[in-house]
Amino acid sequence: MDNGEFEMRRLLAKLVNGGISRREFAERALGMGFGLVTAESILDTVAAGQDRKKRAAVARETEAFRAEPFSQKTPYEQWMAQERVPIHTGYFVANVRRLEVKPWERVGASGAFIDLTGAEGTDGAYVLDLDPGKSTKPQRYLFEEAVYVLDGEGETSVWHEGRSKHTFKWKKGSMFSPPLNVWRQHTSRGKAKARLISFTDLPLMMDIFHSAEFLFNNDFVFRDRYNYQPDYFTVNESKLKGGGSAATFGEEERAAVRILDTGLVPDVNALELYEAKSRGAKNKSIEMVFSDNVLQTHISEFETGSYKRAHRHGPGSHVLVLNGIGYTLAWKEPVKYSEAPKDRQVRVDWTDGTLLVPPDRWFHQHFNTGENSAKYMAATWIGGKYFVKGMGGGGRTHRLNTVSVHQGGNMIDYADEDPMVRAIFEEETRKHGVRVRMPDRTKGEPHEKH
Ligand SMILES: [Fe+2]
């Protein structure tokens, strides 16, 4: 073995053991006369080997999970239970910022699951807490997620196995999605704790494959979704694409609307919204597709003293209130709210941080009783970029949100609603000293379908 070879072996051993940085290794290899391409290919090979070690460790953990067959519990419910963090259920969560979390071994942070009735196992959510300076364990998984930053600031690195890290920053109000099945690691960089909430289709994926190892230890790389595009986690003009979907905008509104198609939005509260009067008299919206996901998101804002039209669709629409004060009524049938059986009526009073999922195909209607506009973010099977018919009629039922029940749609126009709905709203706004800014109910708001 000559001196050069010996020196290279020594350097490699140091690199593998973490004794020198990748940059130091490259500099010293170049100084020894090795070319840049050789040095980089050695670094890539070493990184791939290290990723394989991590993957083997993950596999050891996930292999412990086996879904019990012939059970009344779904594979996802069984998997959640063995993760040993709190599981929050019901129709809604009053405030996701106050949700109890516990240390979560897999993630290396504290967390909790949110498994609400209206999701019907098509999608779900989890929250994560990260103390200042702390990072989650690197993870890779075969389900989509869209992350909203409830509090704090930090950064996330994503990477394909054996390749370099792509890092982007986030803060309270940011939304982003590590693309499907990339490695990801979140780090809190603020002075206070960061809390993230993530909306995922893991329930569906786990129920179908009932294999944690397949979902958490899968080599497939979706280069079609993400391949290190430098501007992937930013917003610019090129990210505004197509037109809005029929779930959110009326036919005449759609021509003027663009969908935001990106990996990250720095602050969803600062986005410019489009008129969406088909959904409500004083309503504006923007749809957002994160990282080529099928599970889509949108923002909706409606003015003080106004409320949206009632509508219904399939399961899984997670509505997270970003600001404002109001309430939501949900009822199964019929069109007239007061005629619905009492056990098929739900009222949720909400404010910043409330999360609700309207039950499958129940009518639901959002009311703003505060002095300012109210805004929410929804993660739904809306079928904007990719039209999916599964998920309890997902995209198909959502496309009927802006079409009246009289025309085979899923929307109750103001003129058709139960007079009690307006009476409750007038009472609630009076309590808050807020003026009602709604059109005369009997005339209704001018609508393209009327
Ligand atoms: Fe809805």
User: Ligand 1 centre and the CA of 404: distance in Å?
Assistant: 14
User: Tokens 């779900």 sit at which residue?
Assistant: 124
Quick: pLDDT tens for 227-236.
999 999 999 9
Helix (H, G, I), strand (E, B) or coil at 55: helix
List, in sequence order, every beta strand (DSSP E) within 2-63: none
- Please give the Cα distance from 381 to 368 (Å, whole number): 24
State the pLDDT confidence band at 59, using cuts at 50, 70 and 90: low
The identity of residue 169, as a single letter, is K
Surface-to-core class of residue 301, CB atoms within 10 Å of its CB (0-12 exposed, 13-18 middle, 19+ buried): buried
Q: Which of 48-62, 263-277, 281-295, 357-371 has the lowest mean pLDDT?
A: 48-62
Contact 119, 202 (CB under 8 A): no
**pLDDT for res 447:** 40
Distance 114 CA to ligand 1 centre (A): 19
pLDDT of residue 49 exceeding 90, the answer is no
Alpha-carbon distance 103 to 435, whole Å?
46
pLDDT band at 6 (very low <50, low <70, confident <90, very high): confident
CA of 441 to the centre of ligand 1 (A): 21
Residue-level pLDDT at 43: 81
Residue 285 pLDDT exceeds 50: yes
Strand partners, 308: 280
Predicted confidence at residue 26, as pLDDT, reads 86
Distance 316 CA to ligand 1 centre (A): 9
Q: Are 106 and 137 in contact (CB under 8 A)?
A: yes
Higher pLDDT, 350 or 34: 350
DSSP string spanning 69-93?
A: TT-SS-HHHHHHHHHTS-EE-SSEE
Strands of the sheet with 411-412, listed across from one edge: 345-351, 325-331, 363-368, 310-311, 411-412
Region of 395 on the Ramachandran plot (φ > 0 left; ψ -120 to 50 alpha; else beta): alpha
- Span of 163-167, 179-183, 276-280 with lowest mean pLDDT: 276-280
SS (H, E, C) 311-380: ECCCCCCEEEEEECEEEEEEECCCCCHHHCCHHHEEEEEEECCCEECCCCCCEEEEEECCCCCEEEEEEE
From ligand 1's centre to the CA of 350, what distance in Å?
15
Q: How remote is the CA of residue 1 from the centroid of ligand 1, in Å? A: 71
Q: Is the pLDDT of residue 238 over 80?
A: yes
Count of beta carbons in the 10 Å neighbourhood of residue 31: 8
> Is 90 exceeded by the pLDDT of residue 50?
no
Q: What's the gap in Å between 311 CA and the centre of ligand 1?
A: 6
Q: Residues 6 or more apart from 336 whose CB is under 8 A from it?
A: 417, 418, 420
Question: Which pLDDT does position 58 carry in this prediction?
Answer: 59
pLDDT of 449 reads: 31
SS3 content of the chain, % helix, strand, coil (to 5): 30, 30, 45
Helix (H, G, I), strand (E, B) or coil at 6: helix
In Å, how far are 64, 123, 139, 203 from 111, measured between CA atoms?
20, 17, 15, 17
Confidence of residue 60 (pLDDT cuts 50, 70, 90): low
Maximum C-alpha span of the chain: 93
Strands (E), 220-344: 240-241, 259-262, 264-265, 274-275, 283-290, 296-302, 310-311, 318-323, 325-331
Nearest-CA neighbor of 448 among 403, 409, 414?
403
User: Does residue 181 surpass a pLDDT of 90?
Assistant: yes
Average pLDDT of the chain is 90
Is residue 358 reached through a cis peptide bond, with omega within 30 degrees of 0 on the bond before it?
Answer: no
pLDDT digits (tens, 9 = 90+) for 117-176: 999 999 999 999 999 999 999 999 999 999 999 999 999 999 999 999 999 999 999 999
The whole-number pLDDT of residue 55 equals 64
Cα gap 272→286, rounded to integer Å: 8
d(CA 403, ligand 1 centre) in Å: 13
Mean pLDDT value of segment 253-272: 92
Q: Checking DSSP bridges between strand 283-290 and strand 109-114, what pairing results, if any?
A: unpaired
317 alpha carbon – ligand 1 mean position (Å):
6
What pairs with residue 275 in β-bridges? 284
Q: How many whole angstroms from 248 Cα to the centroid of ligand 1?
A: 9
Tell me the pLDDT band of 450, cut-offs 50, 70 and 90. Answer: very low
CB atoms closer than 10 angstroms to residue 334:
12
Over residues 172-188, mean pLDDT: 98
Q: What letter would DSSP give residue 48?
A: H
| Predicted local confidence at residue 245, as pLDDT | 79
Nearest partner of 219 among 298, 153, 150, 140, judged by Cα: 140
Mean pLDDT within 354-377: 96
User: Mean pLDDT across the stretch 366-382?
Assistant: 95
| Span 314-337, pLDDT tens digits | 999 999 999 999 999 999 999 999
Helix/strand/coil for 406:
helix
**Selected residue with higher pLDDT from 287 and 58:** 287
In this model, does residue 62 exceed pLDDT 60? Answer: no
pLDDT digits 0-9 by tens, 78-132:
999 999 999 999 999 999 999 999 999 999 999 999 999 999 999 999 999 999 9
- 376-435: per-residue pLDDT in tens? 999 999 877 888 888 776 677 888 888 899 998 999 999 999 999 999 999 999 999 999
